[in-house]
């Protein structure tokens, strides 16, 4: 698992910092910014990335679940994670 606390950069920039050049919104319904994304280094192996608001501190706690992944297209990954997580 990759983790970082009090991150203030954009979520896509944060993912890219760890080599995940593909970052797609997965669940961005929380008004507090407690969101999840699917990320990939190669567009084929996808991981889930979480972001949690650090209030009252500044920024977000972020982490990428490197043990949970799915191989395939982005659409297949979204379908898989939707079925598994919701």
Residues 2-58 have pLDDT tens digits of 998 988 889 999 999 999 999 999 999 999 999 999 999 999 999 999 999 999 989
> Residue 1 — pLDDT band, cuts 50, 70, 90?
confident
CB burial string 33-53: b at 16+ within 10 A, e below: eebbbbbbeeeeebbbbbbbe
Q: State the sign of the Cα–Cα–Cα–Cα dihedral 74, 37, 40, 48.
A: negative
> Residue 68 — pLDDT band, cuts 50, 70, 90?
confident
CA angle 76, 40, 85 (to 5 degrees): 50
């Amino acid at each position: 698992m990759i983790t970082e606390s009090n991150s203030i950069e954009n979520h896509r920039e944060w993912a890219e910092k760890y080599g995940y050049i593909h970052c797609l919104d997965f669940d961005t319904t929380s008004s507090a910014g407690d969101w999840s994304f699917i990320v990939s280094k190669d567009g084929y192996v996808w991981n889930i990335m979480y972001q949690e608001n650090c209030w009252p501190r500044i920024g977000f706690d972020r982490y990428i679940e490197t043990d949970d992944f799915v191989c395939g297209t982005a659409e297949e990954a979204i379908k898989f994670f939707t079925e598994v997580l919701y």
